[in-house]
Structure 1
Amino acid sequence: MASINEREEKILLNEEKIHPKLYANVSSDDIEWYLDNGASNHMIGYEPHFTEIDRAITGLVKFGDGSKVSIRGKGSIIFNCKNGEQRVVHDVYYIPDLYSNILNLGQLTEVVCKVWMASDHLWLYEDDDRLLMKVPRSLNRLYKIALTVGKPVCLLNSICDQAWL
């Protein structure tokens, strides 16, 4: 969307009759995400899920009904995959008043992901054609998936035998 300046950004969502408190975020590491093409960016309302966050990024998100909520940062979130690997999603807006988490499909395709939708499923692939997720379409025609938020892992190796150097 249109940027006001480097540090303040505007986003528009085209949803009507939003009742956010019905879908409030919880502090669990398994959280629901909507895979969406209507929003312009990844967004979440729960700060502890961020691995890193730049709180200098501010702005507003405007909904289709004219209501607005404030952006209070932008950062990265780590997800745990079922195979034990981790994936990092960058450029996620922190919006404290947002009660639904959104992964923007357009933003995912910018980082070389491929999206395929057919029948009643959405498939998201990495650039090497490895399947990242298969998401069923819900009765209200939305694609929603529970993802496990991960924590950064630091690996340390120490060599005591100088011959190995």
Structure 2
Amino acid sequence: MCFMAIDDLDEGSKKDKWFLDSGCSRHMTGDESKFAFLTKRNGGYVTFRDNAKGRIIGQGNIGNDTSSLIKSVLLVDGLNHNLLSISQLCDKGFKVIFEASHCIIKDIQNTKTIFMGHRCDNVYAINISKYDGHDRCFSSMHDQSWLWHRRLGHANMDLISQLNKDELVKGLPKINFQKDKVCEACQMGKQIKNSFKNKNFISKTRPLELLHMDLSGPSRTPSLGGKSYALVIVDDFSRYTWVLFLSQKNEAFYEFSKFCNKVQNEKGFTITCIRSDHGREFENIDFEDYSNEYGVNKKFRLLELLNKMG
């Protein structure tokens, strides 16, 4: 790295400003108090313009909750200036433009101006503390996209991209939201318990002893007869499956009662037990009265019952 001609600046100015340096390979400072997070290191040197060496004693992030964050900054023993590496900015996906009186740091993806530095005594400097946390220029785009993923209740990236496109969330930055890693919280939240081991025997002794039921719908496209729901009934003994099509969910009991009369006459067996989830189409007064009148035992899926208890 090489030093710029900044020695003539007063000490107060140098303490608050960060100087853009094209000859600096990494962001670096000698002021430990500027770090919001710092990991001490023992080893490594940077070489100055006069071939003198400065010992690297730490690495971390500069900034706080109200000022912009600079990542991967080296703490160099004895360094009297705050230096920003132009090459490191470019590697992070930013464009640095120099004019006669000022310089501009832009986001390449949406050409938004993130920071503006001013030329003073032939060097370009930025006062980081004057910028708030809305535009964290030096944070990687990767980290910022996942930060918004967490802020929005772990919404998927496709949804956040659509919110961004339609400008439905105030303050949502114009960055590219891509699912480029696995969110540990989402992964844990979607985990399920191991499945029960398969049984190699039939626990029921006859047809209609236990029926499993579930209702799906509404479908996006109704059938030609105007049906949008499907009531699926499975016999536990034979695995035989019936599908009854409904126009509305409240038709579930009416169709089920017709089905019961028909199938019991056809098979010569009575229905002993029915099992379903806690859907309102099954858990209502009509099904309760039917169960009490005909002695049918109602059961719920074990997983649904555990969820209700816990």
TM-score, reference length from structure 1: 0.65
Report the CA distance shift for 1:149/1:134 in structure 2 as closer, same or farther (over 3 A): closer
Which residue of 2 is the match for residue 113 of structure 1? Answer: 94
Q: Between the two structures, name the one with larger relative contact order (CA 8 Å, sep ≥ 6).
A: 1
Which residue of 2 is the match for residue 163 of structure 1? Answer: none
Which residue of 2 is the match for residue 96 of structure 1? Answer: 77
Deviation at 1:145, TM superposition (A): 2.1
Residue type of the partner of 2:127? A
Q: What's the secondary structure of 2:60's corresponding residue?
A: strand
Corresponding residue to 1:38 among 13, 18, 23: 23
Which residue of 2 is the match for residue 137 of structure 1? Answer: 119
Deviation at 1:76, TM superposition (A): 0.9
Report the CA distance shift for 1:51/1:149 in structure 2 as closer, same or farther (over 3 A): farther
Report the CA distance shift for 1:23/1:75 in structure 2 as closer, same or farther (over 3 A): same
Residue type of the partner of 1:121? H
1:124 aligns with 2:124: no
List gaps (5 residues or longer) in structure 2: 134-310
Q: What's the secondary structure of 1:58's corresponding residue?
A: coil
Residue type of the partner of 2:2? N
Which residue of 2 is the match for residue 9 of structure 1? Answer: none
1:14 aligns with 2:14: no
Deviation at 1:71, TM superposition (A): 0.6
List gaps (5 residues or longer) in structure 1: 1-12, 153-165
Q: How many residues align?
A: 131
Contact 1:33–1:102 (CA under 8 A) maintained in structure 2: yes
Report the CA distance shift for 1:23/1:65 in structure 2 as closer, same or farther (over 3 A): farther
CA-based RMSD: 3.2
What is the percentage of aligned positions where both structures have the same residue?
25
Structure with max Cα Rg: 2
Which residue of 2 is the match for residue 76 of structure 1? Answer: 61
Report the CA distance shift for 1:136/1:55 in structure 2 as closer, same or farther (over 3 A): same
Give me the whole-angstrom Cα distance separating, in 1, the residues matched to 2:43 and 2:69: 22
Contact 2:4–2:21 (CA under 8 A) maintained in structure 1: no
Superposed CA offset, 1:124-144 (max 9, x none): 1123222122222223x2101
Residue type of the partner of 1:15? F
Contact 2:30–2:80 (CA under 8 A) maintained in structure 1: yes
Give me the whole-angstrom Cα distance separating, in 1, the residues matched to 2:5 and 2:50: 7
Deviation at 1:23, TM superposition (A): 4.3
Superposed CA offset, 1:107-133 (max 9, x none): 011111111123332111123222122
Contact 1:78–1:149 (CA under 8 A) maintained in structure 2: no
Whose helix fraction is larger, Structure 1's or Structure 2's?
2
Report the CA distance shift for 1:57/1:78 in structure 2 as closer, same or farther (over 3 A): farther
Superposed CA offset, 1:46-91 (max 9, x none): 11211212213631111121222111011111267xxx6x532111
Residue type of the partner of 2:3? E
Contact 1:17–1:65 (CA under 8 A) maintained in structure 2: no
Give me the whole-angstrom Cα distance separating, in 1, the residues matched to 2:95 and 2:42: 28
Contact 2:68–2:129 (CA under 8 A) maintained in structure 1: no
Q: Give runs of ≥4 in structure 1 deviating > 3 Å.
A: 15-20, 22-26
Residue type of the partner of 1:132? I
